[in-house]
Amino acid sequence: MTKAIQICGTGSGVGKSIITAALCRIFYQDGYKVAPFKAQNMALNSYVASDGGEIGRAQAEQAYAANIASSVHMNPILLKPTADRRAQVIVQGTSIGNMSAVEYARRKKSLLKKVHQSYETIAQKYKFIVIEGAGSPAEINLKAHDIVNMKMAEYADAGVILVGDIDKGGVFASLVGTLELLDKNERDRIKGFIINKFRGDKRLLQGGLRFLEKRTGKKVLGVIPYYNDIKIGEEDSVSLECRMQNAECGMRKNKKLTKLNISVVHLPHISNFTDFDALEKEHSIKLRYIKTPQELEGADVIIIPGTKNTIGDLTWFKQTELDKKITSSIIHRPLSIVVGICGGFQMLGESIDDPYSIESSAGKIKGLGLLDMTTTLAKNKQTYQIKGKDLLSKTNIYGYEIHHGNTKISDSIKPRFLITNRTGKAVRILDGAISSDKRFWGTYIHGIFDSKEFRKKFILEIMQAKGLTNTKLDCASFNRDKEFNKLADLVRKNIDIKYLYKILNNPGKEPYV
């Protein structure tokens, strides 16, 4: 019989995804077949699962932590915001269209069947399931049609651990307040707390922990220290904002270490910013996310990333005059290059046409005109895991495609990549484009910089052109498993693992404390 435990939080960005990944790795290390599950996720960082559909990036990372192939059933509903009040709704890996919040709420009852279907599909294969909640389970305006928090825990008969982020401040009030807003059956299902991101001496926290346990009757399973030396991919835009702040601080402290300046345009609807994690880890690179033309000053590489609203973000791009700044940078910095990924690749062309209003009602829009090509957005989305070759450096590459666009390039430019495998099927498909002077190129392939040899060639060629020699690249030795093991060790050492297993084996409604 499959057993489940659920990780809920006092709000977004408190660490639910990371704790879920840590538990997946801990249970795997302890010899159990374990899988992650999140009924509904709202994220612009997505991934193509092993079975070919689209899921939240966090569930793909959690599957890796559990040492299993990812599946669309691990995240049956994915919401990708396209505007302030609309989102693309992806069900079991396939888009069913864009909806307003009201439209989506009306569909939830029917979608709940898909959620349960996916959960049962996972439950047939694995001994343990670690379920991740979304936001807070105490959102009063959402509880009536909840399909991801306490209603999911009830369906799976899972004990719930509530996570709070002490680094945000007010952790005791948020934990107690969350319980107070739940009904009795929901409170009974919550078996304990984890306090996350603690800085300092834990002895100073003991009085607060004793108060929390006495006030609520729930056990504090542990306190996880704040860390910044474990590299796990994240999907939340909140984490990107924190990284931007940390990067600025790090640059002020380490100016002497900076050699290559890479600027990623922080588009309003930026998606899949994990595409640049591998570049960010290189100590020889200064990577920044920028929003203004002034911040582009001195950039050796300008990257326009993926977006969930290409036309809307291209309009913003022009309104901020970033397009003019790029043109100026190209003229005054003859060694600088411009790269576009997915939506950013489409922006580099002459025009983008959205005849079916897939991402916008604006229809057709003029592009940046840096590559002689045109893009039309089709109704059906293409989602594939891919392998291939860089036609310029002759290195092997891998990654994944998630796009509606079909791009036609002119004879004046050449494709950049050859895709040889799509989700396990041998193919020969040309991808992307590169200008004759090699200063502008783009691709539909997300995760392209994760390919070590390609990344190495890309960086070294630019550095050599700048006259930088004896450059050491640090990330070639990056070990993803090592990072997950570090995360698991940190969590294992700082929580009551025996109590955790007790919750798994006794998910009944009575509190343990």
Q: Supply the residues annotated as catalytic.
A: 342, 446
Q: Are strands 260-265 and 219-225 parallel, antiparallel or unpaired?
A: unpaired
The 3-class SS string of 80-126 reads: EEEECCEEEEEECCEEEEEEEHHHHHHHHHHHHHHHHHHHHHHHCCC
Distance CA 174, CA 64 (A): 31
Give 430's DSSP letter.
E
Q: Is 255 exposed, middle or buried (0-12, 13-18, 19+ CB in 10 A)?
A: exposed
Say which residue the tokens 């300092």 belong to: 200
Contacts of 416 (CB under 8 A, 6+ apart): 390, 391, 392, 431, 432, 433, 434, 441, 442, 443
Q: How many CB atoms neighbour CB 170 within 10 A?
A: 12
433 touches 371 (CB < 8 A): yes
Q: Are strands 351-353 and 373-390 parallel, antiparallel or unpaired?
A: parallel
DSSP letters, 218-246, are -EEEEEEEP-SS-------HHHHHHHHHH
93 touches 55 (CB < 8 A): yes
Distance CA 340, CA 287 (A): 16
376 touches 353 (CB < 8 A): yes
Distance CA 31, CA 152 (A): 26
Structural tokens at position 64: 């890796």
Amino acid at 454: F
The 3-class SS string of 261-298 reads: EEEEECCCCEECHHHHHHHHCCCCEEEEEECCHHHHCC
Amino acid at 31: G
Q: Is 67 exposed, middle or buried (0-12, 13-18, 19+ CB in 10 A)?
A: middle
484 touches 28 (CB < 8 A): no
Distance CA 131, CA 109 (A): 20
Distances (CA, A) of 96 to 79, 91, 175, 381: 11, 7, 36, 10
